[in-house]
Amino acid sequence: MLNVKDVKKDFPVLKNRDVVYLDNAATTLTPDSVIQSLKNYYQNLGTSVHRGIYQLANETTEKYERARKKVADFVGSDSPREIVFTKNCTEGINIIAYSLHHWPEMEGKILVTEMDHHSNILPWRFMANGSEKFQLEYVDVTKEGRLDLEDYKSKLSPDTVAVGVPGISNVVGTVNPIKEMTDLAHERDALVVMDGAQWLPHRKFDISEYKVDFLTFSAHKMLGPTGLGVLYGKEDLLCRMPPPFGGGEMVLKVDRRKVKWNDPPQKFEPGTPPIAQIIAFGASVDYLNELGISEVNEHVDRLAQRAVNKLSEIPYVDIYGPKEGESRGGLVSFNVEGVHPHDLATALDSLDNIAIRAGLHCAQPLHEVMELNSSARASFYVYNAPEDVDRFIDAIKEAKKILGGADER
């Protein structure tokens, strides 16, 4: 069990400000060890990687590649060569979509779901729009926010070439049956691209268990620096895929007519990378490993269920997604009757320094399916305590009195 009181001491924002931070699905706060890693790079290293042969450059490159190995181990990859550093989770999915689009033998149907984040919809839309090679189709989601597995099975076909799916919905917290979906897709020789942005921060993920072909996630959602994401890809696929960007470091040889690409992952990492952020992300992985990802998962699940239980007791609150006894990610989306989510978020901040998200959460198709104009979302992480949930609930009740009148039911 996590000692939240001790964990909070590691986060300068929480030492410097009285805030209940419940917007962790968007981005997490940063612990001292990660901040110090960033500072150490600029104070004691400061060089580029893979290019210098002097001691300082070698030391920087060693720390940089050690971080890649940490990330590979974190997701159960057998080889650091399967870990590509990107700008964010979004860029990772765009790389996959672009590369598959320009893969000569790739042609057919792309499946995504109605609960996907725009980041796992728009790259495929770009790929399919105006194309005679590709067609985009959506897997249905119920009004309760659950993926329709029977619809998924019916839409999988021999001409399906790729499936894009979120491990966990960033709106309703639905945990999708990734292993079953992957097995079904592989039976039809389709590739599986998992958006792991909401899964990796607080759930164990092992490539050898889930067997997805590609996995993307963001550092800033798991205590790391901004401006950095990860693309995992099976090495044989990365070797065959054409890169979407051109620049230094990604080639073995260039002349005026021909190019020979470097091996993965450098093949997909042109130019000078975000070195400080990558090294610091290694410190983020260390921090999560020290806490224990299973303990993190248990802690976040408890907080989310506590929030669901307490919100369920309020008659004027509508909750979306899985309820008690069902698996859900570390978040809860809801609406307060008669109060717009933006007004609610503003009120919670003003009343008691409680930070939540309000809006469409970059998932407009899902809101349309659920017949919602917007929603409020609270999401939890390692530095949140049960008292934070209670404070959040009390503030909702107070906000309702101010914004929508007291409800005596």
Mean pLDDT per 10-residue section of the chain, whose length is 409 residues: 95 95 98 98 95 92 98 97 97 95 89 97 91 92 93 97 97 97 97 98 97 98 98 97 90 89 93 96 98 97 96 96 80 97 98 97 95 97 98 98 70
pLDDT value for 399:
97
What pLDDT was estimated at residue 323? 76
Q: Output the pTM of the full model.
A: 0.96
> Tokens at residue 340, please?
């717009």
DSSP category for residue 102: T
Q: Is residue 1 a contact partner of residue 298, using CB atoms and an 8 Å limit?
A: yes
Q: What is the pLDDT of residue 249?
A: 85
**Which amino acids are annotated catalytic?**
362
Give me the pLDDT at residue 104, please.
Answer: 82
User: What pLDDT is stored for residue 396 in this prediction?
Assistant: 98
Provide the pLDDT for residue 409. 44
- Distance between CA 200 and CA 195 in Å, rounded? 10
**What is the per-residue pLDDT for 406?**
55
Residue 132, pLDDT score: 83
Q: For 269-338, where are the alpha helices, taking DSSP H only?
A: 275-291, 293-312
Q: What was the pLDDT predicted at 408?
A: 44
What local confidence, expressed as pLDDT, does residue 324 receive?
Answer: 64
Strand (E) or helix (H) holding 244: none
154 burial (CB, 10 Å; 0-12 / 13-18 / 19+) is exposed
What distance lies between CA 159 and its chain's CA centroid?
28
Q: What torsion, rounded to 10 degrees, do the Cα atoms 47, 52, 56, 60 define?
A: 60
pLDDT of residue 106: 86
Residue type, 306: R
CB 68 within 8 A of CB 273: no
Domains of the chain: 4-22+292-403 (3.90.1150.10), 34-289 (3.40.640.10)
Distance CA 405, CA 407 (A): 6
Q: Which of 316, 120, 319 is nearest to 212 (CA)?
A: 120
